[in-house]
């Protein structure tokens, strides 16, 4: 954990700040390893203070007591903090302007009297972009749990059960196999509903001929996974199988192009060109992928707005889709680690056409 504090202190130097105040859960978890809510971190060149309330004091000492002065506040954390740092000559403090609500900002300003709050912009996000080996190992475990759930669900899906049955079975399986919880509400969209890119599982029953798009992930040790597969049951129409072939081609081609030095825009365009040239222009209305880590959607983005230059150790999804309104859709999603040449594909579930 010390390494991350050191990195943050470089940000302090670069931005001429006396300290930073971190209050969002993804960033407090990243900087301290403490997974609970109700924590506030203050880091200056001299001090690293971790504030929490009585519910978490013991656990947080265990988690980050080596790197932080772990302190218990009783009422207002920032009033307490100000008291702790009053002799430290702190006047300019960075805060998470892209996350903190306006109401919280006003409260911070009120409570931190005499301190000027400065926008950190994406300084913390940048620290989280490239994953350490240990983080990638943890993410791989989260990915493995989801892969196992996919294998399991193939034996469970049958005509007559509902989308909610499938989502509940996936989630139950993941929890029983090591997941803290799911990364997000599972998407199960079948038949015509599969044209909804983010169709949450409904009461719709699975019918013969349906395509079933399942998008889900597990959280393991604070890190997320995210995968999507579309499978078919009975005798699907040739038209949807052709769509599957196009999405698979786009997925494989774009995935193989992910490497250090490319931008998200470039990778997105590879998949988009394949899909549009096959006659599905306008039917791939989302970005190709996104970073995954402590948050299931984080930087960098693989999309028309993804200007970050990819670097080794970044973890991203590659998830093209085609959605034909009132007909159906297909999406295939893997997670990969950016490398010098071919990416390290973390997701191991087959992408070959599956007809149950």
Task: Using CB under 5 A, list all residues that contact Mn ion.
Answer: 226, 317
User: In terms of CB distance, is 39 or 317 closer to Mn ion?
Assistant: 317
Contact 351/330 with Cβ under 8 angstroms? no
Taking the complex as a whole, the smallest distance from the CB of residue 142 to Mn ion amounts, in Å, to: 13
Let me know the angle formed at the C-alpha of 40 by 315 and 78, rounded to the nearest 5 degrees. Answer: 150
Among residues 113, 101, 92, which one has the least CA distance to residue 20? Answer: 92
User: In terms of CB distance, is 93 or 315 closer to Mn ion?
Assistant: 315
Taking the complex as a whole, the smallest distance from the CB of residue 137 to Mn ion amounts, in Å, to: 21
* 92-95 vs 211-216, strand pairing mode: unpaired
Taking the complex as a whole, the smallest distance from the CB of residue 204 to Mn ion amounts, in Å, to: 22
User: In terms of CB distance, is 81 or 335 closer to Mn ion?
Assistant: 335
User: In terms of CB distance, is 60 or 251 closer to Mn ion?
Assistant: 251
φ/ψ of residue 265, rounded to 5: -60, -45
User: In terms of CB distance, is 226 or 255 closer to Mn ion?
Assistant: 226
Q: What is the DSSP letter of 235?
A: S
Q: How many residues would you count in the chain?
A: 356
Q: What is the DSSP letter of 280?
A: I
Contact 324/312 with Cβ under 8 angstroms? no
* Cβ neighbours, 10 Å, residue 157: 20
Residue, CB closest to Mn ion: 226
User: In terms of CB distance, is 226 or 299 closer to Mn ion?
Assistant: 226
Taking the complex as a whole, the smallest distance from the CB of residue 333 to Mn ion amounts, in Å, to: 5
d(CA 230, CA 331): 6
Taking the complex as a whole, the smallest distance from the CB of residue 317 to Mn ion amounts, in Å, to: 4
φ/ψ of residue 226, rounded to 5: -155, 120
Taking the complex as a whole, the smallest distance from the CB of residue 319 to Mn ion amounts, in Å, to: 5
Q: How far is CA 186 from CA 85, 164, 181, 308, 342, in A?
A: 44, 9, 11, 28, 29
Max intra-chain CA distance, the chain: 74
Taking the complex as a whole, the smallest distance from the CB of residue 1 to Mn ion amounts, in Å, to: 28
User: In terms of CB distance, is 169 or 226 closer to Mn ion?
Assistant: 226
Run of H or E including 301? strand 298-302
């Amino acid at each position: 954990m010390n390494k991350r504090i050191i990195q943050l202190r470089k940000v302090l130097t670069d931005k001429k700040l006396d300290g930073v105040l971190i209050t969002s859960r993804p960033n407090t978890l990243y900087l301290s390893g403490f997974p609970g809510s109700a924590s506030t971190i203050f880091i200056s060149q001299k001090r690293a203070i971790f504030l929490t309330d009585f519910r978490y004091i013991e656990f947080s000492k265990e988690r980050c007591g080596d790197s932080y002065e772990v302190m218990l506040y009783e009422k207002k954390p920032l009033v307490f903090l100000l008291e702790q740092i009053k002799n430290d000559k702190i006047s300019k403090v960075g805060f998470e302007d892209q996350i903190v609500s306006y109401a919280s900002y006003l409260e911070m300003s009120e409570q931190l009297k005499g301190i000027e709050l400065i926008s950190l912009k994406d300084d913390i996000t940048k620290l989280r972009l490239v994953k350490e080996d240990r983080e990638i190992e943890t993410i791989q475990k989260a990915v493995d749990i989801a892969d196992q759930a996919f294998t399991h669900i193939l034996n469970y899906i049958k005509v007559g059960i509902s989308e909610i049955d499938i989502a509940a079975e996936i989630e139950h399986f993941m929890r029983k196999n090591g997941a803290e919880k799911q990364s997000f509400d599972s998407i199960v969209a079948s038949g015509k509903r599969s044209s909804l890119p983010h169709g949450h599982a409904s009461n719709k029953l699975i019918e013969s001929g349906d395509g079933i798009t399942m998008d889900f992930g597990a959280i393991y040790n604070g890190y997320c996974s995210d995968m999507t597969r579309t499978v078919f049951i009975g005798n699907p129409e040739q038209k949807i199988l052709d769509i599957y072939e196009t999405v698979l081609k786009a997925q494989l081609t774009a995935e193989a192009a992910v490497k250090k030095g490319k931008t998200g825009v470039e990778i997105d365009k590879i998949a988009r060109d394949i899909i549009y040239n096959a006659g599905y222009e306008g039917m791939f209305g989302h970005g190709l992928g996104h970073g995954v880590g402590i948050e299931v959607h984080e930087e960098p983005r693989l999309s028309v707005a993804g200007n970050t230059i990819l670097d080794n150790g970044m973890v991203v999804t590659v998830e093209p889709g085609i959605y034909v309104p009132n007909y159906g859709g297909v999406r295939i999603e893997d997670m990969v680690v950016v490398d010098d040449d071919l990416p390290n594909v973390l997701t191991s579930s087959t992408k070959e056409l599956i007809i149950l």
